[in-house]
Structure 1
């Protein structure tokens, strides 16, 4: 028995790519992101989605709502396991500011071992998303499930499926409002589609 997972990165907020949003409150979708979320709803309506799980961040919840409406899913489950990496003091800083921080450079050069100011590593992120996928698979066998999350969380899951070190997350992209599809079963997991744009 298998479960199909659609790993969906939140749609764009107004300043995506200019600063590190992390777990900051009040980071919401801009007009472009709202249009992307509506497109995601239309795309996901073609799939028999049985459940939707979502990060606690505003931008992921705003992305999940049009999907739930389009798919007829009445409730969105909020999951801490899907939350953005806890970047601590780095949250809210521009990437220009961060590039002058030795800790930030170490984080990007040594993702296997480096920790954010809050103490989280990519392996920590990978463990929480893989544990969630395993638990959800047990409850939703032979069904399709949407997980609405963040780029690095999705990258950690993909690295696990492909048997790549977590530090190899830079070898592929996860764009805003993209869909990455994996199938998971007792035999393991396989990647079906990576970074599909609705």
Structure 2
């Protein structure tokens, strides 16, 4: 019997602008003190898992969240561009309160599959990128445990795809800072979503060493 490949999707910890600004791919945004504590806690929750590889979005906040897990597991952090945040184009750095007043925001929330950020990426393209990246990583680590540090929207899109949920419903999935969502892949079978937005319990029971 082929052993499943576990992909753990970890959102980066909090930053000084979490919940107020759409930071996108702008460089220079680091974890807050609370975010660093969340990164340490996430690493502790993964203790006991036989982690084979650690990957991260190239953005600082994701790499900083990955660092404690890399230190605990002894696995280096490999940057993977496929795990990047959605490219919000002209909306990068905008305040969420202002964006919520735009008529386009209703499309973002209720029909995201039809939306493309001005001079940026579309949600459909983001999902396709994220799914293809996870396919490549699970093929490279077949039967292993892989931890991927990414961002809320790409993780939501990956979880929705694994659940067989239409992209237009992906905004219903909550992905909190430093939360862990786990997808199990077995050859010849549909993916199984083992947990979503886990923020407290230990995860060592997912796979024996």
TM-score (normalizing by structure 1):
0.95
Matched, 1:37 2:39: yes
Matched, 1:178 2:188: no
Alpha-carbon shift at residue 42 of structure 1 (Å): 1.0
- Partner residue, 1:4: 6
Render the CA deviation track for 1:155-174: whole Å, top value 9, x for unaligned.
10111111111111122200
- Partner residue, 1:53: 55
- Partner residue, 2:207: none
- Partner residue, 1:99: 100
- CA–CA separation in structure 1 for the residues paired with 2:69 and 2:173: 25
- CA–CA separation in structure 2 for the residues paired with 1:194 and 1:107: 22
- CA–CA separation in structure 2 for the residues paired with 1:160 and 1:114: 17
Alpha-carbon shift at residue 119 of structure 1 (Å): 4.0
Alpha-carbon shift at residue 138 of structure 1 (Å): 1.3
Render the CA deviation track for 1:22-46: whole Å, top value 9, x for unaligned.
1111111000000001111111122
Give the 5 Å matches for 1:149-168.
Answer: 149-168=150-169
| 8 Å contact from structure 1 (residues 159, 165) kept in 2 | yes
Q: Secondary structure at the match of 1:193?
A: strand
Matched residue count? 197
- CA–CA separation in structure 1 for the residues paired with 2:71 and 2:190: 31
Alpha-carbon shift at residue 185 of structure 1 (Å): 2.1
Structure 1 gap segments, 5+ residues each: none
Q: Secondary structure at the match of 2:21?
A: coil
Matched, 1:90 2:95: no
Q: Which runs of 4+ in 1 moved over 4 A?
A: none
Cα root mean square deviation, aligned: 1.2
